[in-house]
Chain A
Amino acid sequence: MKPITVNPQLHEDGQSTSIISRIWRIPALLAGGIMLAVLVLLAIFIPFISPHDPTGQDLSAFLQPPSAKHWLGTDQLGRDLFTRLIYAARTDLTIMVLAEIIPFCTGVLLGMIAGYYGKWLDSVISLLTDTFIAFPFYLIVIIVAFASGAGQRGIYITFMLVGWIVFARVTRGLTASFRQQEWVASAQTLGLPGIRIILRHILPNVLPQAIVVLMTDMVGLLVAIVTLGYLGIGIAPPTPDWGTMISDGQPFITTAWWLSAVPGLAVVYVGIALSLVGDGLADLWRKK
Chain B
Amino acid sequence: MMKLSKATMKPAGTKSSYSWLIMAIVRAVIVIFCVVTAVFFIIRIVPGDPAKMILGEYSTPEALERMHHALGLDLPVWEQFIRFVKTLFTQGDTGNSIIAGTSTRELVAERAPVTLLLIGMACVLAVVIALLLAAVAATQKDKLLDHLIRIFPTVTLGMPIFWVGLLLILAFSVHLRWFPVGGIGEGWSGTLYSLTLPAITVAFSQTPTLIRSLRVQMIEVLESDFVVTLKAAGIPGRIILFKHVLRNAALPTLMLLGVNISYLIGGTLVVEQVFGIKGIGSLLFTSISNRDFPVIQGIALYCAIGVVIISLLIEIISWLLDPRTKGKP
* A residues lining the B interface (CB < 8 Å): 127-128, 130-144, 146-149, 157, 161, 216, 219, 222-223, 226-227, 230-231, 233, 243, 246, 250, 253-254, 257, 260-261, 264, 267-272, 274-276, 279
What 1/0 mask marks residues of chain B from 262 to 289 whose CB sits below 8 Å from any chain A CB? Answer: 1111110110010000000000110010
CB distance from B53 to the nearest CB of A (A): 7
10 closest Cβ contacts across the A-B interface? A271-B158, A138-B266, A136-B266, A264-B163, A131-B34, A148-B46, A136-B265, A134-B304, A147-B46, A275-B154
A139 touches B265 (CB 8 A): yes
A134 touches B31 (CB 8 A): yes
Docked CA distance A144–B34 (Å)? 17
Binds A, one of B62-70, B87-95, B105-113, B167-175: B167-175
Chain A: interface secondary structure? helix
Residue from A144, A254, A269 in contact with B42 in the complex, judged by beta carbons closer than 8 Å: A144
Q: Counting CB contacts under 8 A, is B30 at the interface? A: yes
B157 touches A253 (CB 8 A): no
The chain A residue with its CB closest to the CB of B311 is A134
Q: Counting CB contacts under 8 A, is B300 at the interface? A: yes
A147 touches B265 (CB 8 A): no
Residues of B contacting A260 with CB < 8 Å? 163, 166
Query: What is the total of A-B residue contacts with beta carbons within 8 Å?
Result: 146
Residues of B contacting A219 with CB < 8 Å? 157-158
Residue from B154, B159, B267, B288 in contact with A276 in the complex, judged by beta carbons closer than 8 Å: B154
Docked CA distance A130–B32 (Å)? 10
Residue from A135, A161, A227 in contact with B307 in the complex, judged by beta carbons closer than 8 Å: A135
B158 touches A274 (CB 8 A): yes
Docked CA distance A161–B43 (Å)? 13
Docked CA distance A189–B42 (Å)? 45
Residue from A130, A138, A222 in contact with B31 in the complex, judged by beta carbons closer than 8 Å: A130
Q: Counting CB contacts under 8 A, is B303 at the interface? A: yes
B167 touches A264 (CB 8 A): yes
Docked CA distance A114–B273 (Å)? 39
Residues of A contacting B284 with CB < 8 Å? 139, 142
CB distance from B12 to the nearest CB of A (A): 26
Residues of B contacting A149 with CB < 8 Å? 47-48
B159 touches A271 (CB 8 A): yes
A223 touches B35 (CB 8 A): no
Chain B interface extent, by class: 35 or more
* B residues lining the A interface (CB < 8 Å): 27, 30-31, 34-35, 38, 42-43, 45-48, 50, 53, 154-155, 157-163, 166-167, 169-170, 174, 262-267, 269-270, 273, 284-285, 288, 296, 299-300, 303-305, 307-308, 311
Residues of B contacting A128 with CB < 8 Å? 34
Residue from B53, B162, B300, B304 in contact with A227 in the complex, judged by beta carbons closer than 8 Å: B162
Residue from B167, B273, B308 in contact with A134 in the complex, judged by beta carbons closer than 8 Å: B308
Docked CA distance A126–B38 (Å)? 15
Docked CA distance A136–B264 (Å)? 8
B31 touches A139 (CB 8 A): no
A135 touches B269 (CB 8 A): no
Instruction: Knowing A147-B42, A233-B288, A279-B154, say if A136 contacts B307 (CB, 8 Å).
Output: yes
CB distance from A247 to the nearest CB of B (A): 8
Residue from B43, B47, B262, B285 in contact with A137 in the complex, judged by beta carbons closer than 8 Å: B262
Docked CA distance A127–B37 (Å)? 13
B273 touches A231 (CB 8 A): yes
B30 touches A226 (CB 8 A): no
Contacts A/B (CB < 8 Å), 18 sampled: A131-B31, A134-B35, A134-B305, A137-B266, A138-B263, A143-B296, A146-B296, A149-B48, A216-B157, A246-B162, A264-B167, A267-B159, A269-B158, A270-B158, A271-B159, A272-B157, A272-B158, A275-B158
Instruction: Knowing A134-B31, A147-B53, say if A226 contacts B160 (CB, 8 Å).
Output: yes
Extra 4 A-B pairs, beta carbons < 8 Å, given A223-B161, A268-B159: A130-B31, A148-B48, A264-B160, A271-B157
Residues of A contacting B42 with CB < 8 Å? 143-144, 147
The chain B residue with its CB closest to the CB of A227 is B160
A146 touches B288 (CB 8 A): yes
A246 touches B160 (CB 8 A): yes
The chain B residue with its CB closest to the CB of A146 is B288
The chain B residue with its CB closest to the CB of A242 is B160
B300 touches A143 (CB 8 A): yes
